[in-house]
Amino acid sequence: MSNRYISFDTETTGLDFNKGDRVVEIGAVEILGRNKTGELYQTYLNPDGKEMSEGAAEITNITNEQLKAAPKFKDIVNEFIEFVKGAELIIHNAEFDIGFINHELKLANHEVKDIREICTVFDTLIHARKTFPGQRNNLNALSMRLGISGYDRTYHGALLDAQILADTYLNLTGGQVTFDLSEEPKTEVKEEIVNQREDIDFINFAADKDDIKEHEKFLDILSKKTNKEVNW
């Protein structure tokens, strides 16, 4: 097993590559053993005419005009592959980023069809849910719970989030962790809500397992891209 890890994140024009959304920034931070080496990989990407969605532009502060001069994925794909090859990718909600990167590899007609052919993947979201069941586990909430500080979080950025994730991963897998008991539901509030609901008639709709799974995946994506826990 490799002792080289790459903390990895992307920013995208929107939430669904199947609807034409593209990667607009890649950020990666190298870790050897338990130490960040200072080696970074970052690039903005021209999304081939796909414009930033309003929500993506708001949280990243990336503009369509800014991306016009950026390289296209096909122009940087080999240097990106070279940087991550053989490492274990550390990703928060890996399914989202892996899906987008694999889509970019497909559009570039690259010989690597799935990034997992050359890397293993560690999903910190899955690990965090096992460590902190029932608590908020988006990257912002998780990193703050673990005492990760010193970063300007005004806007999202792939490299910024990869740096925060690197610290979070090292703490989560080897450092001291604490449980935030302030996130426990308040009994008084719960009782008040129950009392208010006594006079309301409810219609129950049952969702099947596939519907629930797809909905949970969608909520994970929203949480990842907004750094806010979405539970509805």
- The residues carrying an active-site annotation are 156
- Rounded to 10°, the helix 94-107/209-226 angle is 80
Q: Taking a C-beta distance cutoff of 8 angstroms, is the pair 52, 62 a contact?
A: yes
With H, G, I as helix, E, B as strand and everything else as coil, classify residue 90. Answer: strand
Burial classification of residue 103, based on how many CB atoms lie within 10 Å of its CB (0-12 exposed, 13-18 middle, 19 or more buried) = middle
Q: Taking a C-beta distance cutoff of 8 angstroms, is the pair 92, 165 a contact?
A: yes
Q: Taking a C-beta distance cutoff of 8 angstroms, is the pair 169, 195 a contact?
A: no
Q: What CA–CA distance (Å, rounded) separates 126 from 164? A: 17
Q: Which two tokens stand for residue 131?
A: 């460590």
Residue-level length of the chain: 232
Q: Taking a C-beta distance cutoff of 8 angstroms, is the pair 230, 223 a contact?
A: yes
Q: Taking a C-beta distance cutoff of 8 angstroms, is the pair 24, 57 a contact?
A: no
Q: What CA–CA distance (Å, rounded) separates 52 from 151? A: 24
With H, G, I as helix, E, B as strand and everything else as coil, classify residue 156. Answer: coil
